[in-house]
Amino acid sequence: MNTTASYSLLLLCFFISTKELLADELSIADLIERTEPACVRIDVTYKDGSQGIGSGFVVDTERKWIVTNYHVVGDSKTATVTFADKSTAKVLGWNAHYTGFDLALLKIETIKKLTALPVAIVLPRKGDKTMAIGAPQGLSFTASEGIVSGIREGSELKQFGPKLDGTWLQTSTPISPGSSGGPLLNFKGEVVGVNSSSLEGAQNLNFAISCVQINQLINVGKKIRLRKLELLTPVEKAGGVPRAPPSKAIVIKIPSKRRFQHRYKIEEDED
């Protein structure tokens, strides 16, 4: 084979391998379309009568398992999940939880044909693109994009509050209260983490417990019988990530006193 033919073959092989590599990565719109059916909004009623909103995702269609944050369902009385198609399901109980990882594995009751998200078996790299799907401030199935900003052990985060274990992903993917428990996805459609918290007073410093701990949770769940939801220990006693306090909403009332002018009256209401 002459030199020109060898060079042409090398370029062809490079083109094919590059094309295959790029084909593994989905566009944002395709990623949302593929993964959103497996995501849920979680509405919780706690034992003190208060209510909360969180997020989660299906990881096992046969067992009908949902993964979410422990702090979403800790000290809860009842919970229901809502899918993107508006169908709902009751949470029957839990099969496993890790307070130090801020994770809970829930079982739902439904006849719906479920779609599950695959959980990555290796950590992402720093700089990898990520997407979150959740219900920030109750805005169900919101998608946001960012990158993995850092990979940290729980010991590095103890200075900021609760005792945390395992490996955590620091991300620039925007999340807010209500996003908790939702998936942090890579652009192949795999779950690389569960969105858990943000650092208050900082610029977009968000954290997700990694896929390594999610897989641990699922494996433990296969060995434990179903338990009632109300048996989950209150978050404060468990030492996990606390639930966010009720936030204040800024309400912008339009029109203002004068018509046809760009003036806004801003009032502060309790959420």
Catalogue the active-site residues. Answer: 71, 102, 180
Query: Can you state the percent helix, strand and coil of the chain, rounding each to 5?
Result: 25, 40, 40
Whether the link from the prior residue into 255 is cis, omega within 30° of 0, is: yes
CA distance 174 to 244: 16
**Non-local CB neighbours of 13 within 8 Å, separated by 6+ positions:** none
DSSP for residue 119: B
CA distance 201 to 199: 6
Locus of tokens 């192949």: 188
CA distance 193 to 201: 23
DSSP for residue 14: H
Q: Phi first, then psi: give them for residue 2, nearest 5 degrees.
A: -75, 175
Structure tokens at 91: 């949470």
